[in-house]
Amino acid sequence: MNKLELLRTFVRVSELSSFTLAGESLGLPRSTVSEQIRALEHLLGTRLLNRTTRRVQATQDGLHLYERSKDLLARMDEIEGLFHNESAALSGRLRIDLPTLMARRIILPNLPQFIARHPGVELEISCTDRQVDLLREGFDCVLRIGELSDLDLVARPLGSLTQINCASPGYLQRHGVPTGLADLHQHQLIHYVRNLGNRSPGFEYLQAGELQVQPMAGAITVNSTEAYECACLAGLGLIQAPGAGLQAYLDSGELVPVLTDFVAPSLPVSLLYARQQHVPHRVRAFMDWLQALLGPHLANP
């Protein structure tokens, strides 16, 4: 049995604390993962993982092996990359996470171009608005909108999304069109948060280059960009969102821009990937393609 494959499996189990999740990450049945871990423990003559009904946790020997294995596997990937022709056909699994609306409207419709160019690459695509853990969940790269907090990852800035304020015609007919900040006390804001239970600070805008926030009432809070958009179309209040994603609704008149002099700060768009000496060619190829695809939709970094 390939010793490097045993180590790769062990590293994924250690990171995910689960045989099942590790198997899903590697494309292996849970039984195969268990078999490989047993084979590695037999080969090394030590117990590497403590297994309970709820979780899997590395032993002291397992922790030591985990740190050494990560370095070894990174070096092996680097060595393999030294001898790969850049123009050679790419292959292997690529796991990525994308913001839901950007994936649906821009990336997925254009994905056949990338697949036609690199038919040997197998894509696993997660579309979510939550902030995934790239390392723990086994992603090769993630596309992130907003400020970054993942200091242990490498970030490639792609540009930014300009935000607008808007509402539905029906909402504006009932509540009036706000012409200044003083009018906001009689309006409803649809609140967007990543985690329900939190509360958004309110209506955001820039004044002399500084972020200002005005608290606002609102009957609904959502944690999904699709729900945020749908709530606005339903006439439940004002939203502040990237204009590029709403352009079709603006063109059709389903949404109307308001308070154009009081817009929220632009949202940075970045690609995140693990800090390593050698980034696999398939990962670099996808990130280069994605950057070129999104370029026309973004303002300069």
Between CA 293 and CA 192 the distance in angstroms is 27
* Residue 87 counted as domain residue: no
Same domain, residue pair 64 and 100: no
Same domain, residue pair 199 and 223: yes
* Residue 215 counted as domain residue: yes
Q: Which residues contact 216 (CB under 8 A, 6 or more apart)?
A: 184, 185, 187, 188, 189, 202, 203, 238
Is residue 170 within a helix (H) or strand (E), and if so which, with residue range? helix 169-175
Same domain, residue pair 101 and 149: yes
Whole-prediction pTM value?
Answer: 0.71
Nearest-CA neighbor of 166 among 269, 100, 263, 299?
263
Same domain, residue pair 47 and 104: no
Same domain, residue pair 284 and 143: yes
Same domain, residue pair 245 and 169: yes
pLDDT digits (tens, 9 = 90+) for 212-244: 999 999 999 999 899 999 999 999 999 999 998
pLDDT digits (tens, 9 = 90+) for 36-64: 999 999 989 999 998 876 778 889 898 88
Same domain, residue pair 202 and 119: no
Same domain, residue pair 243 and 287: no
* Residue 291 counted as domain residue: yes
> Which residue segment(s) compose the domain that 124 sits in?
92-161+267-297
Pairing of strands 221-222, 191-192: parallel
Token couple for 212: 């200002």
- Averaged pLDDT score across all residues of the chain: 88
Between CA 37 and CA 50 the distance in angstroms is 11
- Specify the number of domains making up the chain: 3
Same domain, residue pair 225 and 283: no
**3-state DSSP assignment of residue 135:** coil
Whether residue 128 has pLDDT greater than 70: yes
Same domain, residue pair 67 and 137: no
Q: Give the rounded distance of the alpha carbon of 204 from its chain centre.
A: 23
In this structure, what CATH number is given to the domain that contains residue 105?
Answer: 3.40.190.10
**Among 175-189, 192-206, 211-225, 239-253, whose mean pLDDT is lowest?**
192-206
